[in-house]
């Protein structure tokens, strides 16, 4: 019996990261606006490929991040919609439940996020649906993280 070290989903994410590394090098030669436009197109393409439930959540989160932290640069992160700071470090990203075949999607913050508050703070939120109140809450987190 051959034991797998990585799931198919994990292997796909690693392949996506390799492509993103190559894209990052080519974007370094472009203007911030060109990089933003290309990143937004990548996110839209990823959202279009998602099942309806994930796509609807991703579209709402994309609109919320774009409105509340327009200085963040859209990109993909292991094949997921993400937003980075000017240094290219991912601040937040959307992990659709279909990507790893899990129970719920998440909206997460990476280490570049400025969320540090005390000894313990949340870096990920489970997302099953998004009400206006949920979007308002997450928008505040994004504004705080993207300072």
Q: What is the pLDDT of residues 9-19, one digit of tens each?
A: 777 777 777 77
Residue 33, pLDDT > 90, answer no
Structure tokens at 10: 């994990």
User: How high is the mean pLDDT of the chain?
Assistant: 91
The sign of the dihedral angle between the CA atoms of 79, 83, 89, 95 is negative
* Predicted local distance difference test score (pLDDT) of residue 27: 61
Mean pLDDT of 55-64: 98
* Predicted local distance difference test score (pLDDT) of residue 5: 84
Residue 23, pLDDT > 70, answer no
Mean pLDDT of 40-67: 98
Q: For residue range 93-135, what is the model confidence (pLDDT) as tens digits? A: 999 999 999 999 999 999 999 998 889 999 999 999 999 999 9
How does DSSP assign the chain, residue by residue?
-PPPSS-HHHHHHHHHHHHHHHHHHHHTTS-HHHHHHHHHHHHHHHHHTS-HHHHHHHHHHHHHHHHH-TTSEEEEETTEEEEE-TTS-EEEEEE-HHHHT-SSEEEEE-TTS----SS----EEEES---HHHHHHHHHHHHHHT-
Name which of 136, 142, 145, 131 is nearest 57 in CA terms.
131
Structure tokens at 142: 């994004």
pTM for the model: 0.83
**Between these two residues, 88 and 26, which has the higher pLDDT value?**
88
| Residue bearing tokens 């489970």 | 126
Q: Give yes or no for a contact between 107 and 124, defined as CB atoms under 8 angstroms apart.
A: yes
């Amino acid at each position: 019996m051959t034991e797998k070290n990585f799931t198919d989903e994990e292997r796909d994410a690693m392949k996506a990261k390799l492509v993103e590394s190559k894209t990052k090098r080519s974007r370094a030669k472009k203007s911030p606006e060109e990089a933003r436009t290309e990143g937004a197109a990548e996110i839209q393409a990823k959202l279009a490929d998602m099942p309806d439930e994930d796509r609807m959540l991703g579209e709402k989160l994309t609109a919320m991040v774009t409105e509340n932290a327009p200085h963040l640069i859209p990109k993909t992160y292991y094949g997921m919609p993400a937003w980075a700071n000017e240094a290219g470090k991912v601040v937040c990203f959307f992990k659709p439940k279909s990507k790893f075949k899990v129970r719920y999607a998440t909206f997460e913050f990476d280490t570049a996020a400025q969320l540090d508050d005390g000894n313990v703070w949340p870096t990920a939120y489970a997302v099953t649906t998004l009400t206006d109140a949920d979007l308002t809450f997450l928008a505040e987190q994004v504004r705080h993280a993207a300072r």
